[in-house]
Amino acid sequence: MLGGPGTGKTILAAQFLYKGLSEYGENGVFVSLDESKNHFYPEMMKFGWDFKKAEDEGKFAFIDATRLSRVAILKEKMMREETSSLRGKQLQIDKLIEELQEKMQKIGAKRVVLDTLASLFYRFMDPIERRTAAVDVIESLSDLGATTIVTTELSYLGLERNLMDEEFLVHGVIMMQTLFSGGTTTRAMQVEKMRGAGVNPNLVPYTIDRNGLEIFPAMSVFRER
Ligand SMILES: Nc1ncnc2c1ncn2[C@@H]1O[C@H](COP(=O)(O)OP(=O)(O)OP(=O)(O)O)[C@@H](O)[C@H]1O
Ligand SMILES: [Mg+2]
C-alpha cells in the first residue's frame, strides 16, 4: 500500500486488522515503525476499534519497532556501530522478523501489518543495500503464511511516477492519494496490481470519517461535463 502523508495508510491497515479479528475470526499483528502503542491505541479508539481489549483477549499483538524508525535514528546524533554497519542493520531487521514470528505463533495470526517499510529502510542509504534488505524482508514476510499489508510512502505526487523495487516483489499494490482540483481535494485509491485476481482498475474515491475508511467503487473521480 503506497501513499503520501495523511492519505490514511495507517487507518486502512488498522481497519484491515480490526475487521479481521472482529468479523472474520482472523487474529492479527501490527508492527509499528512510526507510532508507539500509547499513541496508536487511543487514536484507533476514535473509530471504535478497541485494540487493547483485543490484545487482552489474545487476538491481537502490537510490536513497537519505533526504535528502528527514522525519528530514532535522527535522535541518535552519533550512529553507533550496531546501527551503522550493514551487518548490524540486517541483524536488527532479522530480530524484528523473529519477534513477529513468535507473536504470530502465540496468537495464531492470519493477518499482519507493517507500517511503514519506508521507515524501516530509512537507514539504508545505498540503493543496492536497500534493495537487498527489501527482498529479504518481503520474502520473510511471505514465508510467514499470513495475509500481510506493508505500507510505504509515496513522495512523488501525480499520475506518473517511478516504480519502486518493492512493487515488483509483492503480490499486490494499492496506491492511495489526495487529488487537488478546482480548490477541492478528493481522496482516491487505485489497485495497480493484484496477482491472481480480477480487480477494478479505476481510480476510486474514498472518504475517512469517524467510522474509518470507506471506498466508493461505483463512483468516478473524474467528473463528466
Ligand atoms: N475522524 C476523522 N474524520 C475525518 N478524517 C479523519 C478522521 N480521523 C483521521 N482523519 C484523517 O486521516 C488522515 C490520517 O490518516 P493516517 O494516519 O492513516 O494517514 P497516514 O497515511 O498513515 O499518514 P502518515 O504518512 O502521516 O503516517 C488525516 O488526513 C486525517 O485528516
Ligand atoms: Mg501513518
Find the 58 Cα to ligand 2 centroid distance in Å.
Answer: 24
Give strand pairing partners of 147.
Answer: 111
Give strand pairing partners of 152.
Answer: 2
Checking phi first, is residue 108 left (phi over 0); if not, alpha (psi -120 to 50) or beta? left
> Do residues 27 and 111 make contact, with C-beta atoms less than 8 angstroms apart?
yes
Give the C-alpha separation, 222 to 207, whole Å.
Answer: 16
> Do residues 141 and 60 make contact, with C-beta atoms less than 8 angstroms apart?
no
DSSP state of 162: P
Nearest bound ligand to CA 213? Answer: 1
pLDDT at 78: 47
The best mutation among 2, 7, 12, 15 to test binding of ligand 1, ranked by most ligand atoms within 8 Å of the C-beta, falls on: 7
Axis-axis angle for helices 127-143, 86-107 (nearest 10): 20
**195 ligand 1 Cβ < 6 A:** no
**187 ligand 1 Cβ < 6 A:** no
Q: 111 in helix, strand or coil?
A: strand
> Do residues 69 and 35 make contact, with C-beta atoms less than 8 angstroms apart?
no
Q: Amino acid letter at 187?
A: R
Q: What is the pLDDT of residues 37-93, one digit of tens each?
A: 999 999 999 999 999 999 999 999 999 999 887 666 666 654 555 456 778 788 888
Q: Indicate whether 167 pLDDT > 90.
A: no
Whole-Å CA distances, 213 to 10, 36, 74, 111, 189 = 11, 22, 32, 18, 11
Q: Indicate whether 225 pLDDT > 70.
A: no
Number of H helices, E strands in the chain: 9, 10
**pTM to 2 decimal places:** 0.91
* 127's grid cell: 540503493
- CA-closest candidate to residue 214, choices 21, 1, 11: 11
18: Cβ contacts below 8 Å, ≥ 6 apart: 28, 44, 49, 51, 54
Find the 209 Cα to ligand 2 centroid distance in Å.
Answer: 16
Find the 75 Cα to ligand 1 centroid distance in Å.
Answer: 25
The best mutation among 10, 17, 122, 207 to test binding of ligand 1, ranked by most ligand atoms within 8 Å of the C-beta, falls on: 10
Q: What is the pLDDT of residues 92-140, one digit of tens each?
A: 889 999 999 999 999 999 999 999 988 888 778 788 888 888 888 999 9
Find the 13 Cα to ligand 1 centroid distance in Å.
Answer: 12
**208 ligand 1 Cβ < 6 A:** yes
